Chain A
Amino acid sequence: MRLEPVLLVAQDAPPATMPTRRAFLFGGAMFATGLSLGGACGYAFGSRRADVPAPVSDDFEKSGDADLDELRRLAVKAPIEELVKHDMLFIRSATVVYPNDRFLWRGLRRLAEEVIAKQNYPNRRIAAGILIQTINAADPEWASTLSDLVKSLRACR
Chain B
Amino acid sequence: MPLIQNGEGIRVTHAVPSGGSVTVNVGPNDSTLEINVAGSSEVQVVEVPPNKDAVIPVPPVPPGTILFITVGKGLRARVLIVEVIALAPQGP
A138 & B75 in contact (Cβ 8 Å cutoff): no
Q: How large is the interface on A (under 10, 10 to 19, 20 to 34, 35 or more residues)?
A: 20 to 34
Question: Does chain A have a CB within 8 A of B54?
Answer: no
Question: Does chain B have a CB within 8 A of A136?
Answer: yes
Chain B 43-75 interface mask (CB, 8 Å, partner A; 1/0): 100000000000000000000111010100011
Closest 6 A/B residue pairs (Cβ): A134-B39, A133-B39, A137-B39, A88-B79, A130-B38, A137-B40
Partner of B43, one of A88, A96, A132, A133: A96
CB proximity of B69 to chain A, nearest CB, Å: 10
B75 & A127 in contact (Cβ 8 Å cutoff): no
Residues of A within 8 A of B (CB): 67, 70-71, 86-89, 91-93, 95-96, 99, 122-123, 126-127, 129-138
Residues of B within 8 A of A (CB): 2-4, 6, 36-41, 43, 64-66, 68, 70, 74-75, 77-79, 81, 83
B70 & A92 in contact (Cβ 8 Å cutoff): yes
B66 & A88 in contact (Cβ 8 Å cutoff): no
Given contacts A131-B39, A133-B39, A135-B39, 6 further A-B contacts (CB under 8 A): A70-B75, A88-B4, A88-B79, A122-B4, A130-B38, A137-B39
CB proximity of B6 to chain A, nearest CB, Å: 5
CB proximity of B14 to chain A, nearest CB, Å: 10
CB proximity of A84 to chain B, nearest CB, Å: 11
CB proximity of B74 to chain A, nearest CB, Å: 5
Chain A: CB-nearest residue to B2? A123
Chain A: CB-nearest residue to B38? A130
Evaluate whether A91 and B75 lie within 8 angstroms (CB atoms) in the complex, with A130-B81, A133-B65 already known.
no
Chain B residues contacting A131 (CB-CB under 8 Å) are 39
Partner of B38, one of A70, A99, A133: A133
A136 & B75 in contact (Cβ 8 Å cutoff): no
B77 & A96 in contact (Cβ 8 Å cutoff): no
CB proximity of B72 to chain A, nearest CB, Å: 10
